[in-house]
Amino acid sequence: MAESGNRAVAVPEDNWFAADVATFGDRLAGAREVAGLSQEELALRLGVRLTTLQAWEDDLAEPRGNRLQMLAGLLNVSLTWLLTAEGDGLAAPQEGDRPLPAAVSEALTELTRLSAHASALAAEVARVEKRLRQALRQG
């Protein structure tokens, strides 16, 4: 458990990639690593720039539908799992049946929370920027 404001947040020990724990980028990076591909190799296979793939894994951008389909096929996971953590995907990593130390689990939970918060802030900045551009065009 980790404290998030005034509430406790738990990391499900049986599914590191669950929708409430991991982002699309987390699932993409995890599946890529399990497939034994570097970011450079996957970007090359997909026909995208390395920076594009990195943005996807960092949840700064999202691939279009055709690339999502290619990703699922190359990484041997379902499209639904990549997007929602439902369906055929990866199981939680196993490390000799040893549970994660509490400090590591808490840090991962906090990182997930901060990542979600950063994504929300980025979306808000984009909305304000769009309003500003529209206002400037209108005079």
The residues spanned by each domain of the chain are: 2-138
Distances (CA, A) of 107 to 3, 15, 19, 31, 110: 10, 16, 18, 21, 5
Asked if CATH classification 1.10.260.40 holds for the domain at 2-138, the reply, yes or no, is: yes
Q: Is-above-0.75 flag for pTM?
A: no
Least reliable range by pLDDT among 4-8, 26-30, 90-94: 4-8
pLDDT higher than threshold 50 for residue 80: yes
Q: DSSP 3-state helix, strand, coil percentages of the chain (rounded to 5)?
A: 60, 5, 35
